[in-house]
Each structure stands twice: as structure tokens, then as C-alpha cells.
Structure 1
Amino acid sequence: MSVTIEITDTPDEAALARVETELAAFNDADVGPSEKATLAIIVRDERGAVVAGISGYTAWGWLYVQKLWVDESLRGQGMAGRMLTAAEEEAERRGCHGAFIDTFNPGAEKAYTRQGYKEFGRMDDFPKGRSRIFLQKRLGPATSD
């Protein structure tokens, strides 16, 4: 078989869909269905404007918080913690036993640590001069380590 390797910043949507579908099928056969489901927490002000939110998903018994944002006017008031609690509770309802998140923002790292997340990995200079920090938390009833 002859193949070509294509490098692009404008990938064909059908090609990306094929990669995702085939990888999902491989993983399902290897470790079982992920039962991946989107999870979003949206916070709106009295006018209905979005002022904070979380987007992520649950899969294989884990919550992955991909994005967490809080408007500057709400920062320092515990909003990140309240949203994380809501996301974690929904993840538990979905049968999840853990949650993970990553950040390169030192302030966000402190908020996640206050919420009970613990560092399990770090990439230095991602971006340059910062570290990308990976944190996780066990969900469900407290267990002794």
C-alpha cells in the first residue's frame, strides 16, 4: 500500500470524523465503551448573560473539566468552586469516581487545590515561563488513602 502524509491547518472535517470514529471503535474494543457525555455548567446574570461556565465531559468513570471561566466581576467569590461542585455532583450521578483538570494559571491552580484536587503531573514551559499542571480528585464517599 502506498500512503501520503498530509500536514494541514485546515483539515477535512470528514477526515477528522473518520479518525475520531475509528479511534472510538478501537478504544471500545480495547477497554469497553466510554459512555462519553458532554457536561456543561452555565452561570447567567439577571439579564441572562453568561458570566461563568464549565465545559467538559464524562467518560470511563471520570469527569474531565476542559474549560472553566469566571467573569472578572465574579472572581474571588467562590464561583469556580461552586461550579466544580455542581459538575462533580453531576459526574457522580453519572457513575464517575474521579475528576481531572489542567491549568497553567497559578490562581486557578490554587482554586482547584482548595476544591480538593491534587497535582499528578506537570509540564514545564507550557507556555514558556509557566507550568501546565494536571490535577485530579476522587469523587464519591471519602476513602482513606
Structure 2
Amino acid sequence: MDFHITDDATDPAIARIGDELTAFNRADVGPSDRRAIAVLLRDGDAVTAGLSGYTAWGWLYTQWLWIDEAHRGKGIAGQLLVAAEAEALHRGCHGAYIDTFSPVALRTYRKAGYEIFGVLNDFPQGRTRSFLMKALRA
């Protein structure tokens, strides 16, 4: 047997890894009911802010949250989170999690009720990556 290293995300072997892990997890803990989620703020055809991630196993994971520089500081991040959390509740989720290495985003998430449950120092170098969670309630 040989180890092979690749940076080709389209390699069919990578899809197999995901498929096999999904099958293992389904057998181990049940189906994830993984569904994509996005909350977009549009100005005409232009997206000026947005959040994307997914829900699975009763949790909302916010993978990306971005706001155009001209619209920052107006509370839009909190509004995006509220909208995503409401949809997650509708989907039966009981918790939400997010991570960041931005001190500004960290303050925003904490203001929105998220609590730090873990950190990685120097991720990236000179920053702390914080992992946050929040219980969702109707």
C-alpha cells in the first residue's frame, strides 16, 4: 500500500472518502438531515451581505458570514444570524455554532449570544481562532 498526497479537490477518491464517512456516520448515529442554508441581503441583483452554512444533526453551522465594507457596522451581521437561527429552529435545530479569527466578528457573535467553547492559538499566526456555540430556543 502507498500513501498519495493530492491538492486536486476533484479527485474522485475525495468524494469516496466523504461518501464512506457519511455512510459510517449514518449507521453509527443516524441520518444527519444535512441541508444547506444561506441568508442573502441583496441590493437589486447585487449581494451586499450574506451567511452560508448548513444544518445537520440538530445544529446550525455558519461557515461564512460576509458584509460588504460599505454596510459594516449597521447590525446586519446580527440580523443575518437571527434569520439563519429562525430557519434552523424551523428545521428542528437546538443549537448553533460558528468560528472566527476576527476580533470584530468575535465581538459580534458574543453580542448575538454565542459563547466561546474552544480556541486555537496562532490560527492564523498572531491570531486566535475562537469556536462559539449558542442554544437555540423558540
**TM-score tier after normalising by the smaller chain length:** over 0.9
- Which residue in the other structure is 1:130 paired with? 127
Q: 1:11 Cα deviation (Å)?
A: 4.4
- Which residue in the other structure is 2:78 paired with? 81
- Which residue in the other structure is 1:101 paired with? 98
Deviation digits for residues 16-43 of structure 1, max 9, x if unmatched? 1111110000000011100000000111
Quick one: distance in 1 between partners of 2:51 and 2:31? Answer: 24
Between structure 1 and structure 2, the one with the greater Rg is 1
Match status 1:57 vs 2:54: yes
Q: 1:68 Cα deviation (Å)?
A: 0.3
- Which residue in the other structure is 1:15 paired with? 13
What runs of 5+ residues in structure 2 fail to find an aligned partner?
A: none
Q: 1:139 Cα deviation (Å)?
A: 0.1
- Which residue in the other structure is 1:48 paired with? 45
Q: 1:44 Cα deviation (Å)?
A: 0.7
- Which residue in the other structure is 2:37 paired with? 39
Quick one: distance in 1 between partners of 2:27 and 2:116? Answer: 31
Q: 1:82 Cα deviation (Å)?
A: 0.3
Q: How many aligned residue pairs are there?
A: 138
Deviation digits for residues 48-106 of structure 1, max 9, x if unmatched? 20110011000000000000000011100000000000000000000000000000000
Quick one: distance in 2 between partners of 1:138 and 1:5? Answer: 41
- Which residue in the other structure is 2:113 paired with? 116
Tell me: CA distance 1:130–1:13, structure 2 relative to 1, closer, same or farther (3 Å).
same
Q: 1:12 Cα deviation (Å)?
A: 4.4
**Matched residue type, 1:125:** D
Quick one: distance in 1 between partners of 2:74 and 2:7? Answer: 39
**Percent same amino acid among aligned pairs?**
56
**Normalization by structure 1: what TM-score?**
0.92
What runs of 5+ residues in structure 1 fail to find an aligned partner?
A: none
**Normalization by structure 2: what TM-score?**
0.97
